[in-house]
Every structure is written in C-alpha cells, then in structure tokens.
Amino acid sequence: MSSLAPRSDFPILLAHPGLRYLDSAATSQKPRAVLDAISAYYSEDNANPHRGAYELSVRATERYHAARERVARFCGVADADCLIFTRGTTEAINLVASAWGRANIRSGDEVIVTGMEHHANFVPWQQIAFEQDARFRICELTPDGRIDLDELRAMLGRHTRVVAFNHVSNALGTINPVREIAAIVRERSDALIVCDGAQGAPHIPVAFDSLDVDFYAFSGHKMCGPMGIGALIGRRGTLETMPPYQTGGDMIEFVLDYRTTWNVLPHKFEAGTPNVGDAVGLAAAADYLDGLGMDAVRAHELALVKLATTALGDVDGIHIYGPPPEDRSGVISFTLSDIHPHDLATILDGDGVCIRAGHHCAQPLMRRLGVAATARASFYIYNDEADIEALLGALHRARGLFGYAGV
Ligand SMILES: Cc1ncc(COP(=O)(O)O)c(C=O)c1O
C-alpha cells in the first residue's frame, strides 16, 4: 500500500530518506507547497495589514482575508468572520474558557469535560470552574476507550453550563460522534458545547455549520500547515455577545479616555499584529489537503491503521488501547510487555522510526488506563506500508534487546 501524498512533496522526507515518521499526531510534516506559499508571502506581499494606506499593506490585508476565507471553506464555515485565527488549539480553548467563561459561568454551575481530554481541553476548564466557584465534572469512558454516553446523559441538567470534548482523542485515536453528543447535550441542557478538533480537522472532513457545536478549535501545524497558527470557529451570536480575550491594537473600534468599544468580528478577538504569513501557509495547507480530498485522507489512514493493528496484534506482549480501527483515526497507542515506552521510542529511533512515548498531555486518561505512559504511532498522508514494516521490525528488535525474543 503506497502513501496517499507523494513523499517527494515533503522536503523533509527527501532530506531524511530513511526516516519513518510516525508522529504526525504531535505535528505533521509540511509539503513544499506550504513552504513556498509562506516564502512567497514574505518575498512579495509582506507588510503590516489593516493599517496601511499604501498598496503593499493593502495586498497583505487581502492575503490575510483570503486565507481566512480559504480555511473557513476547508472547515465548512459559511460566515468566514466567525473563524478567529489563534496560535493554535490551546490558545483557542483558553480564549473561550477565559472570555466566555468569566462572563457566563457562575457559582453552582457545572462544567463537564471527559476523561480522554488533552490537557489543552481539560486544564482551562478545570481552572475557570474553580475560579468561578463552579463544579468541575469528568465524564468517564467505556472500557474500550469511548466517551460513556449514558453517563454523560445522566450528568446533564439545568446546572450544566459547558460541555467540552474532543473530536478525536490524541492518545487513543477514538473518533467521537460529535453530532450525537451535541444532540444529547442540547436535549438535556442549555450548555455551551466546545469541541477540540486538534486531531479532527487534519484527518476527517469537518463541516462546522452542520456539527451543531458552539465552538470548534484546531491547530494548523497538525494539518500540513505551519506552527503558530490555528483557529477557533464559533457562532456569530455567541462571539458577538462575549467580551474580548485580549485587548490592544486592531481589536478596538474607539478608544475613549475612560471607555473602549470593540471592533467587529473577527478583529475583536485578534488583538495585535496578526500572523499573516502563517495564515497564508495554513490556507495553502487547506488547498493541499483538499487537493488530496479529505475523504481520501480518512480512507488512507483507516487502511493503514487496520493493517498496522493486525500486524502489531501478532507481536507477543503488545497491548493496544482504544476502540477498533473503524472507530479510530490514524493513531495506535500501545505498550509492549514491561518495556518502558520511552525505552521503546529510543530503540525505535535507532532504526529511524519516530514514535512518541509518554502521557501525551493526557494524564487524566493515563490514570484511567492504569499506565504512566504509552507508546504512540500515528499515521498521515505520507505514510505507507513500508512504515508499518519498519515499525514492526523495530518492535521485534526491541523485544530481542529486552530478552523477550522467542518468548
Ligand atoms: C487533542 C488535542 N487537543 C489539543 C492539542 C493542543 O494543540 P496545540 O499544542 O497545537 O495548541 C493537541 C496537541 O497535541 C491535541 O492532540
């Protein structure tokens, strides 16, 4: 099985021909088209946007707006002004928790997250709940690593103010049924629904306008775009009525001596000089992924993860976490006998196989799994069957090194 995207599109894979990059859930590699778009922006169009009367600044402004429209189209958002550029998912969720949370969460309210959240969608809610004297609650998981929807149903009620959950778990790969969860929440509460799409948008077609969530957050660097850019998508009514997150230049309408009024969307939430170059890069990433087709991206990852799950399943002593491949994105989280995942990752690195080991910024989940850490291989568009074979070979070598060979 070959890769979906030509490996030759990715300069870093050409620079390291022996590399088996299986850590795209942490960050993806970047195609030449994205690197070229960023370079062309700085070579031809760079100026501070919005404020300039001269042509170059107008061009930079247009590039920034065009990038927003392109990324909005990628995510199925008709009203592009409801897509706020942020530094990434972490900043996007902090924006909601802080700006919306301070204005709307009150003593006695309940804030619900799940046991499979990345710290970026856990800690901001935990902290704002404590700050506002609200109750922080964690919806538990089923034994196969899904959100327990019966428990969620039972937790919801008139006190529920926020429900935050991920589209796809970074540590298990579980694909959560976003629309079904949103329907359950809406049936039983008026809660704000926040979806962490950091592992969703890069891997699965996303149509925000039909997801029925209030906010969706993602990071550009996990979807072939540059680091330092991502987005928060929200509903116009909610964004317009909530206070700004940061204050300063660009986000104001009038600054009076003792009062300030806010700019319109999206500027109200984008204080300071925007990251135009990376927005242009993210738009190029959207072009690149749409060129492959997001349905094809999902199908490719599913085929790889099925193949890898079968192959790894035959390795003695392996334990794979999470649901079956059909309900998982391109992530395989596992432990191998009593070999520490960090040792495993170091040994695999000796064979040029890059995997991640650790708690994956999901310590609450690790506690629920009863482990301190797992090893995680994650696949993307440039991976192929040879990557799986290399992973398998390296795992057998690791077993041998630890004296498990032939056991
Ligand atoms: C599910 C999930 N949420 C949030 C984040 C945080 O993303 P970022 O570090 O790009 O802000 C990650 C990153 O790994 C993630 O996997």
Write the pLDDT tens digit of every residue in 231-245.
999 999 999 999 999
Please, what are the domains in the chain? 7-22+293-401 (3.90.1150.10), 34-290 (3.40.640.10)
Q: Which tens digits make up the pLDDT trace of 37-46? A: 999 999 999 9
List, in order, residues 6 or more apart from 83 with CB less than 8 Å away: 68, 71, 72, 75, 77, 231, 232, 233, 266
Ligand 1 centroid to Cα of residue 224, in Å, is 14
Q: Which tens digits make up the pLDDT trace of 67-103? A: 999 999 999 999 999 999 999 999 999 999 999 999 9
Q: Whose CA is nearest to atom 9 of ligand 1?
A: 90
pLDDT of res. 407: 45
Q: Which tens digits make up the pLDDT trace of 242-299? A: 999 999 999 999 999 999 999 999 999 999 999 999 999 999 999 999 999 999 999 9
Q: Is any ligand 1 atom within 6 A of the Cβ of residue 202?
A: no
Q: Is any ligand 1 atom within 6 A of the Cβ of residue 174?
A: no
pLDDT of res. 405: 65
Would you please indicate which residues are annotated as catalytic (active-site) residues?
A: 361
Q: Whose CA is nearest to atom 16 of ligand 1?
A: 170
Ligand 1 centroid to Cα of residue 53, in Å, is 38
Q: Which tens digits make up the pLDDT trace of 152-174? A: 999 999 999 999 999 999 999 99
What's the pLDDT band for 185 if we cut at 50, 70, 90? very high
Does pLDDT of 406 surpass 80?
Answer: no
First to last CA, the chain: 30
List, in order, residues 6 or more apart from 314 with CB less than 8 Å away: none
Rounded mean pLDDT, 102-130:
98
Task: Provide the residue type at 219 as one letter.
Answer: S
- How far, in Å, are 76, 365, 384 from residue 305 at the CA level? 26, 21, 10
Which residue, 225, 226, 244, 224, is CA-closest to 234? 244
Q: Is any ligand 1 atom within 6 A of the Cβ of residue 23?
A: no
Ligand 1 centroid to Cα of residue 137, in Å, is 21
Q: Is any ligand 1 atom within 6 A of the Cβ of residue 89?
A: yes
Angle at 350 between CA 349 and CA 355, to 5 degrees: 15
Distance CA 121, CA 176 (A): 15
Angle between helices 385-401 and 294-313 (to 10 degrees): 30
Which residue, 41, 38, 50, 42, is CA-closest to 272? 50
Provide the residue count of the chain.
Answer: 407
pTM over 0.85: yes
What's the pLDDT band for 51 if we cut at 50, 70, 90? confident
At 192, which helix (H) or strand (E)? strand 192-196
Can you say how many angstroms the Cα of residue 113 is from the centroid of all Cα atoms in its chain?
A: 16
Angle between helices 385-401 and 341-350 (to 10 degrees): 120
Q: Whose CA is nearest to atom 15 of ligand 1?
A: 198
Which residue, 117, 88, 86, 76, is CA-closest to 28? 88
| SS3 state of residue 308 | helix
Distance CA 203, CA 68 (A): 20
Ligand 1 centroid to Cα of residue 118, in Å, is 7
Distance CA 337, CA 227 (A): 35
Q: Is any ligand 1 atom within 6 A of the Cβ of residue 374?
A: no
Q: State the DSSP code for 298.
A: H
Q: Tell me the two tokens of residue 226.
A: 């540059």
Q: Is 371 exposed, middle or buried (0-12, 13-18, 19+ CB in 10 A)?
A: middle
Q: Is any ligand 1 atom within 6 A of the Cβ of residue 24?
A: no
Ligand 1 centroid to Cα of residue 253, in Å, is 32
Using CA atoms of 138, 77, 44, 382 in order, give the dihedral in degrees to the nearest 10.
60
Q: Which tens digits make up the pLDDT trace of 363-391? A: 999 999 999 999 999 999 999 999 999 99
Beta-bridge partner residues of 194: 164, 215
Shortest-distance atom of ligand 1 to CA 169: 1
Which residue, 117, 194, 120, is CA-closest to 160? 194
Strands 160-166 and 192-196: parallel
pLDDT of res. 305: 98
Q: What is the mean pLDDT of the chain?
A: 97
Shortest-distance atom of ligand 1 to CA 168: 1
Using CA atoms of 239, 242, 245, 249 in order, give the dihedral in degrees to the nearest 10.
80
Q: Are 15 and 352 in contact (CB under 8 A)?
A: no
Q: Is any ligand 1 atom within 6 A of the Cβ of residue 86?
A: no
pLDDT above 70 covers a percentage of the chain that reads 99
Q: Whose CA is nearest to atom 7 of ligand 1?
A: 89
Q: Is there a cis peptide before residue 266, judged by omega within 30 degrees of 0?
A: yes
How much of the chain is in helix, strand and coil states, percent to nearest 5? 45, 20, 40
Rounded mean pLDDT, 14-26:
97
Ligand 1 centroid to Cα of residue 199, in Å, is 7
Phi, psi of 5 (to 5 degrees): -95, 140
Q: Is any ligand 1 atom within 6 A of the Cβ of residue 199?
A: yes
Q: Is any ligand 1 atom within 6 A of the Cβ of residue 31?
A: no
Mutate to test the pocket of ligand 1, among 90, 114, 174, 356 (most ligand atoms within 8 A of CB): 90
Does pLDDT of 52 surpass 90?
Answer: no
Angle at 160 between CA 159 and CA 166, to 5 degrees: 170
pLDDT of res. 32: 98
